Amino acid sequence: MGLMPTLESIVSNYWFRPSLVLMVFLSFGLYGLLNRPRQPLHLLVTKFDDRIPLLPVFSVPYLLYFPYLFLIVLYGIMRTPYFLMIAASALAIQVAASIVYLCCQTHVPRPDRIGRGLFSRLTSFIYWFDRPYNTFPSLHVAYSVYCAYWAWIIVPGAFPALAALTVAIILSTLFLKQHIVADVMSGVLVASVSIYLVNTLT
């Protein structure tokens, strides 16, 4: 009896939701900390992956992923009754991916020539700030699926547009040579399992 009011008071505290947002945002930093080459590096590229062309125009949806993720997390935690599940599933994705990165780090080779023009410059910028390690599973894919799922729950009116954005982001990981098919499939799996477990346990 004495424990429940304490938990309720913590959850209803003014600073609890902002603290969850901060915790989730800080967890994203794990990717950067682990995105450094460690031996052995595993290469999962197939002949099919080699046939996928480089299309720099996909740098646009690739970069739109960042405001998409941050807005879903921010709005979902601060303004909806699903805030605990939204935070927990985001953290579960990050923890699961980080364990894989630590135990089995992968690498995706990048093309030597990107081309010229605005989209090529954007692609070069992406290559500059995002090193080609920790590719399996793809967090771009995992968190895009996560965003689409929670968008369907919390902003159903915007879901068709956000679902299209999600598909574009997933395709961008392939057409920018940031990821391969195995990375995409594992990203979908990590997001799906994390969301399922959080929904089941809560």
Is 2 a domain residue? Answer: no
**Confidence band for 1, pLDDT divided at 50, 70 and 90:** very low
**CA–CA dist 24, 36 (Å, integer):** 21
Q: By residue range, what is the domain housing residue 122? A: 12-201
Is 157 a domain residue? Answer: yes
Is 190 a domain residue? Answer: yes
Is 147 a domain residue? Answer: yes
* Per-residue pLDDT, 6: 59
**Confidence band for 37, pLDDT divided at 50, 70 and 90:** confident
Taking residues 154-171, what's their average pLDDT? 98
Strands (E), 114-179: none
Number of domains the chain contains: 1
Is 7 a domain residue? Answer: no
Is 87 a domain residue? Answer: yes
User: Nearest to residue 93, comparing CAs of 147, 135, 134, 139?
Assistant: 139
Q: Are 65 and 141 in contact, with CB atoms under 8 Å apart? A: no
Is 1 a domain residue? Answer: no
Q: What are phi and psi of 100, to 5 degrees?
A: -65, -45
* Per-residue pLDDT, 9: 58
Q: What is the pLDDT of residues 99-150, one digit of tens each?
A: 999 999 999 999 888 888 999 999 999 999 998 899 999 999 999 999 999 9
Is 6 a domain residue? Answer: no
User: Nearest to residue 49, comparing CAs of 153, 149, 136, 174?
Assistant: 174
Q: What are phi and psi of 167, to 5 degrees?
A: -60, -40
Q: Are 42 and 137 in contact, with CB atoms under 8 Å apart? A: no
